[in-house]
Chains A and B, each alone.
Chain A
Amino acid sequence: MDMAQYIPVLLTKYNYWVYITLMMIGLWAMIAKNNLVKKIIGMSIFQTAIILFYVSIGAKYGATIPILRHGHNGAHEAIRTVDYINPLPHVLMLTAIVVSVATLGVALALSIRIHRRHRTLEEDDILTQLREP
């Protein structure tokens, strides 16, 4: 196994590397950051990485949006699937975007509740406050 054979993998599958990098950035923020809002931002990056992954798997080189053109008199032209990108992963991501927006909303609402009670969003300070009532 020499390194040369991995180079094409790195170059042609760059979409996967991008999504994994983004995912790890998000995960790192969720684990390492002390501020709750930064954690929430990390969570959003994490979810967006997966959305990008799905969007990228539907894309093809030289393909166009999947709107079929009808010929004259209602006749169908022959459809070559290679010419069209796969719309299904993109449609799935519409739902996933809604889910991630809802998650973001719930997370922000919870952090507002936490801020009202503790007057801070730093997790360390909140835990100190909770330890000494």
Chain B
Amino acid sequence: MTQHFPALLVTAPLLCALLVSIAGWLRPRLCLPIALVGLGVATLAATGMLAQVLTSGPIGYRLGGWDPPWGIYYFLDQLNAVVAAVVAWVALVNLAASHRAVQADYEDKQGPFYTLYVLAVTGLLGMVATGDAFNLYVLLEISSLTGYALIGLGPNRAPLSSLNYLFLGTIGASFYLLGVGYLYIVTGSLNMADLAELLKPLYGSLAVTTAFSLIVVGLWMKMAFFPLHAWLPNAYSQAPGPAASLLAPLMTKVMVYVMIRMMLSVFTVDFVGTQAVLQQAVGWLAVAAIVAGALFALAQRDLKRMLAYIVVGEVGYMVGGAWLGNRIGMTGAVLHLINDAVMTFCVFLAAGCIFQKIRGTAFEDLQGLFKKMPWTMAALAVGALAIIGVPPTCGFFSKWYLIRGGLEAGHWGFVCALLFSSLVNVVLFFRLFEIAFFEPMAEGNGHGDHHGHAPAVAIAEAPLSMLLPLMAAALGLVALGLATGPLVKYVITPVMPTGLW
């Protein structure tokens, strides 16, 4: 059983997606339990593999019994085992929280929603586990296509935003596919480990540089790296709550993981180190992403839109850290990838809880919310502290690594951008908390104040099925922060290549 964990990681949710879609026709009430079972098995497999990798080293799995490099090979080392575990857990916890929000936002489309949800997670987990460059493309498109549909089922502008996301996402995936094509022309292989060996004597080749550029630019489009970010804010802020809190934390993070995997395991740091011009350019693009994300976020008057622009900035953190060209920066990027998945999840789920009660996330709707929804707002505050980077939440530690990496690389622009973004995040969230804490309820929203004393606002919290997962996410932020030491020592350091200092 345990040796088949890599296959279970993908097949369990895939088969459950089929069952969920059948249940959607016959017994809609069974959709959620079946989906939970599917993702539960995947989460179990992911957690089990993480334990296995930590105790006895990387796991390889031959799908269908075909030997690599001919067959599709799943390969899990510390890096993707931990990413897979985070993805599986976030998806599972979010699914557990989704029940009431799906009833409200998707009404008669619950069957399709859960089917798409489970399929999207299948794609994400597969992308993390696979060791085959073409298989990755297929899984990328599985998670993207389901993502477009999940967003497109939303109200008002959502279908148009989703269609724009689809156009840009398809261009991104096509660039990736084209890059893989060039790699196939020069090496005749698609297996990542095999590619890494075959590419070594070819580093001077223009075709390899072209392939690398195409792949990286394609992935940037998918992860919404700054100049290519145009699809993200609309898509994630108009997606219904449960879809937004699945896609916003996981999709961009998995794409960052794929970029790091390409940089470390396929092209290796020796190759990336030779692309000095590109490295410089990406460093400054990351600075632009961080600054632009912060400024755009500052201009928003809606919680979800603000969070979406924060995601744009966070992508800049990770891409910048990964391209600093030193070990500390790369460690920071990987650590931030893990942390950011959980903190983005926490804040988007909190926004979902608020939307569930108030049916709006515009700033003027949030007045007096600390009194009305104390637990939700407390969790949002923890998420905000993590995004700002206050110890002991996890955001502090990864930002610390990123800043140290920037200092060591002598990239002052990156360091300044990180500090600037942290300061802007302070402004963003404290402005929000000021509205939610000090401003009274809007007219007609709370009780009249005729007697000269403060109105008694009844606590009207989000349902417990949403609140408990949210609390788990908030606690997870602190737990991840406290676990930074072992995480870096046992998970991230072993995967850092020897060529990276």
* CB-based contact B141/A102 at 8 Å: yes
CA distance A117 to B160 in the complex (A): 10
CA distance A57 to B177 in the complex (A): 14
List of A residues within 8 angstroms of B422 by Cβ: none
* CB-based contact A106/B177 at 8 Å: no
Q: Is B22 an interface residue (CB 8 A)?
A: no
What is the minimal beta-carbon distance from A117 to any residue of chain B, in angstroms?
7
Q: Is B149 an interface residue (CB 8 A)?
A: yes
CA distance A30 to B177 in the complex (A): 18
Which of B166-174, B294-302, B320-328, B378-386 participates in binding chain A? B166-174
List of B residues within 8 angstroms of A103 by Cβ: 141, 145, 166, 170
Interface core residue of A89, A95, A99 (most chain B CB under 10 Å)? A99
- B137, B145, B160, B181: the one contacting A126 at CB < 8 Å is B160
CA distance A110 to B164 in the complex (A): 10
- A46, A53, A96, A113: the one contacting B152 at CB < 8 Å is A113
* CB-based contact A130/B157 at 8 Å: yes
List of B residues within 8 angstroms of A82 by Cβ: none
User: Could you say which interface size class chain B belongs to?
Assistant: 20 to 34
List A residues at the B interface (Cβ < 8 Å): 27, 30, 36, 39, 43, 46-47, 50, 53-54, 57, 88-89, 92, 95-96, 99, 102-103, 106-107, 109-111, 113-114, 117, 126, 130
CA distance A99 to B143 in the complex (A): 11
What is the minimal beta-carbon distance from B132 to any residue of chain A, in angstroms?
11
List of A residues within 8 angstroms of B171 by Cβ: 27, 30, 43, 46
* CB-based contact B167/A39 at 8 Å: yes
CA distance A114 to B174 in the complex (A): 25
List of B residues within 8 angstroms of A130 by Cβ: 157, 160
- B166, B177, B178, B181: the one contacting A110 at CB < 8 Å is B166
* CB-based contact A110/B152 at 8 Å: yes
Sample (15) of A-B pairs whose CB atoms are under 8 Å apart: A43-B166, A50-B174, A50-B181, A54-B181, A99-B138, A99-B141, A99-B145, A102-B141, A103-B170, A106-B149, A107-B166, A110-B159, A110-B163, A111-B163, A130-B160
* CB-based contact A57/B160 at 8 Å: no
List of A residues within 8 angstroms of B157 by Cβ: 130
Interface string of B136-147 (1 = CB under 8 A from A): 011001000100
* CB-based contact B163/A89 at 8 Å: no
- A27, A50, A126: the one contacting B177 at CB < 8 Å is A50
CA distance A47 to B162 in the complex (A): 19
Closest 9 A/B residue pairs (Cβ): A113-B159, A110-B163, A99-B141, A110-B152, A114-B159, A110-B159, A106-B148, A50-B174, A107-B166
What is the minimal beta-carbon distance from B330 to any residue of chain A, in angstroms?
31
* CB-based contact A110/B134 at 8 Å: no
Known: A99-B141, A109-B152. A57 touches B163 (CB 8 A): no
List of B residues within 8 angstroms of A54 by Cβ: 181
List of A residues within 8 angstroms of B162 by Cβ: 110
What is the minimal beta-carbon distance from A32 to any residue of chain B, in angstroms?
12
* CB-based contact A43/B148 at 8 Å: no
* CB-based contact A30/B148 at 8 Å: no
Q: Is B363 an interface residue (CB 8 A)?
A: no
Q: Which residue of A lies closest to B147 (CB)?
A: A106
* CB-based contact B170/A43 at 8 Å: yes
For the complex with contacts A36-B163, A110-B163, A126-B160, 8 further pairs of A-B residues with Cβ separation under 8 Å are A27-B171, A30-B167, A30-B171, A39-B167, A50-B177, A99-B145, A106-B145, A106-B148
